[in-house]
Amino acid sequence: MRPEGQVRRCRDPGLRREDQAGPDRRTAQARAGWQVTQGLVLDAPVAEDWRWFDAAPLDAIAATPRGSAPDVAHLWLDLAGPRLLFVDGALVADASTPGPLDISAAPIMTRANPYSEAACASAKAGYVLYLKAQAALDGPIQVIHATTGGVAHLSNKIVMMADSVASLVETHVGPGWSNANLWVELAEGARLMRAVRILKDDGAHTDYVSAQIGKAASFASTALVTGCRTARIEAQMILTGEGAYGEAGGALLTRDSEKVDSATVADHAMPEGTSRQIWRAVAADTSTASIASRAEVRRDAQKTDGEQSLRGLLLKRTATVNLKPELEIFADDVKCAHGATVGELDARALFYLESRGIPEAQAKALLTRAFVADAIDRIGDEAVREAFAADADAWLGAAL
């Protein structure tokens, strides 16, 4: 782990010369963000929230030469709804069925951190979904972001009006570094379900989602990481309306020498809001999985209900799991709780399964699968849930 507070200036080697001319159509805000890709990307930000993120491999990963587009046909789920395929940050039109999605230049949004600023300035394309009041899509929006090398900056936006309903399934695959941003605005009663999986064994991924959740609206996001040399999953939920619901969680599965971390925040600004941050981490070999979650309850956010459940499982004692739940409460009528535990597989449960004739590797897989299911089973769509469970099973087959 690099010492806290160390900052290193580096040039983004994944940008080709023609990409570095600068997007003259951008606002001053985006031009400021553009400078991040011109040598101001922070290696290890001073902020406490970034102390577990390993930025050291990013230069080498971003310098990976780009190759041919991967075969992603097997990653599409057999479900109705819009489909978008991006390869190295560019839309593949003949493999996409956007439906109601507006495919255009990536939306310019507010800076959140150095990497999201880079995405705002450098993304070549993206999508914007605007759902009218009480509208609902026929099926989930499926988005596959494939990289062949280098670095791809991705910036997307979803705006949902009152009582509209949508679900989103994102898949990130391939070598190279993908830097993704999603900005969500939910009006009263709107509901968005999001599931994102990171399948980048030889790559890197940074992911930021910001959700503004209005009155009685609901946002639920589940992330699954089953392979990435280095990755950071970041979510910020701002519960801006009374009775809003925000959920961010998932499972980090690491092996070899991978380093993956997540950082989620639930900001309760209004009364009677509910938040859930349910995370599971499984670490094998010499890998490191780190989870930080925080619930902030403002003075006016009375009757807040916030829960943080962080659990880690070590498949080998050479692996590391870091957990850090936090509560920051300024209201006096709230129900908030957090818990964090790290351990190994239950020896008694293993003995019981083996005594019933189940081989050791299979017994370990059964117990680990049940551990991960705490997070994956929160995905509402059965087909999506089963696909994520299959990805976790494939990881278990390689790790055990």
For the chain, the distance separating the N- and C-terminal CA atoms, rounded to the nearest angstrom, is 25
What are the tens digits of pLDDT across the range 231-268? 999 999 999 999 999 999 999 999 999 999 999 999 99
What are the tens digits of pLDDT across the range 208-233? 999 999 999 999 999 999 989 999 99
Q: Which residue has the higher pLDDT, 102 or 23?
A: 102
CB neighbour list of residue 66: distance below 8 Å, 6 or more residues apart: 88, 148, 149, 150, 176
Q: Residue ranges of the domains in the chain?
A: 17-348
Distance CA 157, CA 150 (A): 24
- pLDDT of 105: 52
- pLDDT of 45: 44
Alpha carbon 26 to its chain's center: 26
Which DSSP string corresponds to 18-76? GGGG--TTS-HHHHHHHGGGGTT--SS-SSGGGTT---TTHHHHHTSPP-PPPP-GGGS
- pLDDT of 110: 52
Candidate from 8-22, 36-50, 73-87, 154-168 with smallest mean pLDDT: 8-22
State the CB neighbour count (10 A cutoff) for residue 76.
15
| Cβ atoms of 169 and 199 closer than 8 Å | no
Is pLDDT above 90 for 362? yes
What's 301's DSSP letter? -
Distance CA 356, CA 354 (A): 5
Distance CA 399, CA 370 (A): 16
State the CB neighbour count (10 A cutoff) for residue 390.
10
